[in-house]
Chain A
Amino acid sequence: MAFTILDGGSFLSTGAGVKINIPSSCDYFKTWNITQMPLAPATPVVVMADWFGEKFGLGQTAANDGLRWKKSANTSVLNLDTFATSTASDGFTYIKTVPYVEAQAANAITAITAASPAVVSQTNTYADGDIVRIYNTTGMLQIGGMPFEISSVSGSGYTLTGLQAVGFAAAATAGNTRRISKYAAVDPEVLYVTEVTKASSAVVRFSVDPTRYYVVGMKMRFSIPASMGMPELNGLTGVITALNATNYTATVDIDSSAFSTFAFPASTTSPTASLFATAAPAGAYTSYNPLTLVQTGYDFVKQPFHSGEFVPYLFLAGGAQSPAGASGDQINWMSYKLEV
């Protein structure tokens, strides 16, 4: 048996995790932090890291682990241990199936404000654009189990742009989250509806940024349980005429001005009030306007049904003591395969 270098590359770390696609799978993976390698940093850093695949049997790397070559504060001396060793830091995770649910301990929320947008208080290591599923909520049972895209992330909290909770009776006082993959196994995927305006062209807000999955011209079919209000929208199909990545909204060609008001049921009605409102992909409306030269229905990237996320890939956690490094670090990587 011999190792073959499959692929290699480098990236400038933003401090966030990095996904490396490995189409033909991988048996060994290595990273070097070129920036930190020659330094004696003031705080501990990982300058080199190794990951071993399942062909190594008992020696394979567990999820969120790997070997780390670490420099302690103010020294160039290398210490070799694993990411799981105390003091633990995030390492490598090899993803073979999607949707991926991050293997992590339940992450406790201390509060979700009844505001628009809702703000979550939680000690976390998330990044802007991550999607977390919120569950075990106390005080906001009506959102328990729903995934949300998060923004304005700090170590102590983040914003749920997709949740306008000012109409909720009370704030949540507890809950848990688990990070999930940004794409379902197949896209375009079902999205969770959190708000619908009453207008000649309804504006629909989702729990995640819809521009990641949908384009103008695509159709959506709405499924609205009676407990969410606006039953007139249930079962209707609309064409998307505009998308807004800032507000997580889509405008559809459905006149909802005379509809009932869309609203989450009261927390006290859970778990018997049926949830959630969703919108599912229903094809596309193909058109061409010769005056404006605008053409819809011919986007062959997002519009067709296709695999949501390419697997397998290796996820490199970000941070000074993780394989993807801290912001500004130059990271080199190579993937290897055991070949016959």
Chain B
Amino acid sequence: MALGITNTNNMAPELPLQFSEDLLSTPMYNLIHSFGCDMHFAEAHIGKTTRMSRYERLSTDGGQLDGSGIDPAPEVVVRSDIDATMEIYAKTVVINEQVTLYENDKVLTKFTALLGQWLREKEDLLMRDLYSSSVSYVNATGGLNGDQPSEISRNDVNNIERILLGNDARTMLQSVDAMNKFNTSPTRDAFIALANTDITPDLQNVSGVILKAAYPAQEGLRPEEYCSISRFRFFVSSKAAKIPGASLTGATVYTIPMYGLEAAAKIDQNSYSAILGYRPPYVVSSVAQNSQLYAKFAIARAITNQNWISGLNVTQRL
């Protein structure tokens, strides 16, 4: 070491640390369970249960007049009433004044953003729970892992398409037209399928799968989308539904809701779908040292047409 030179060994920085203004990312899972459902709105002051009604179509049997003057038998119109109860969820963060006083970052702003993220994540899980609890799933049997249900296969996916088409379900997504690009394939207008990231190796292994990168065009695709199989486009999330110990052999079963238009509804309470608030220190604390941030929202959810939603129970193989 050279003598007489002032360097960082004998003259260390007064502050050997600086705070980067570029905050690192807060992890957030893919929010896939709310898009694809219909939005409804509930007004205040008229109860907490929303009723959605659908008139069932009339029978097309018979109807020809034979000239005798006898009227055709009248048909009783059938209405199905779908009810959903509003529920309120909330989260709060209490902050001591010394945090805001000493913290380099603007914590109240960041905490508010965190609460906003919680709000959307919680909403996503609530919609996931609706799909996993109240929909009939078909056990996959076309796979090779020897379990019941098996891993996902092309035949199983085709079977769900047959069920939905047989019930006159409408596709959700438009086709992606063919283009003159190597290794790309067009996708047909499609229903939506929501899957857990645990089974992405099995999705890649399904016969005829088109991974997202092989779509002819990438514009407008959501980052959560993973692939297209048959008439379905698959969206994945690490929080998508799974049921531990529910297969024949006790393995985890993954439920994959697969649906078209107007299969499910999310009902927002007007003026209560996303509330973020702040309670100042003089309200929260007797010596005005703690403040409070909170987020709350109201939501109701329903499967509005069981004919237009189905899905697969699958297990893992790969």
Contact = CB atoms under 8 A, between A and B. Distances in A.
Contacts of A283: 54, 80-83
A194 interface: no
Give the size range of A's interface with the partner. Answer: 35 or more
Interface stretch (A34-42, A84-92, A150-158, A301-309): A301-309
A137 B249 CA distance: 8
Nearest to A223: B136
Interface in A223-242: 223, 225, 235, 237
- SS class of chain B's interface: helix, strand, loop or mixed? mixed
Contacts of B80: 219, 237, 282-285
Contacts of A279: 136
A305 B148 contact: no
Given A145-B148, A190-B134, A305-B85, A281 B303 contact: yes
Interface stretch (A3-11, A244-252, A269-277, A326-334): A269-277
Interface residues of B, number: 51
A238 to B, nearest CB: 12
A235 B305 CA distance: 12
A189 B134 contact: yes
Contact of B166 (A188, A235, A274): A235
A57 B28 CA distance: 24
A189 B302 CA distance: 11
Contacts of A281: 134, 303, 306
Contact of A304 (B83, B132, B163, B243): B83
Contacts of A304: 49, 83-85, 300, 302
A94 B307 CA distance: 37
Given A135-B247, A136-B250, A278-B136, A305 B141 contact: no
Interface of B: 49, 54, 78-85, 87, 94, 96, 129-130, 132-139, 141, 146-150, 163, 166-167, 243-250, 253, 284-285, 290, 300-303, 306-307, 310
Interface of A: 98-99, 101, 106, 133, 135-137, 141, 144-145, 176, 178, 184-190, 219, 221, 223, 225, 235, 237, 270-276, 278-286, 297, 300, 303-308, 340
Closest 4 CB pairs of A and B: A185-B129, A271-B148, A304-B83, A144-B248
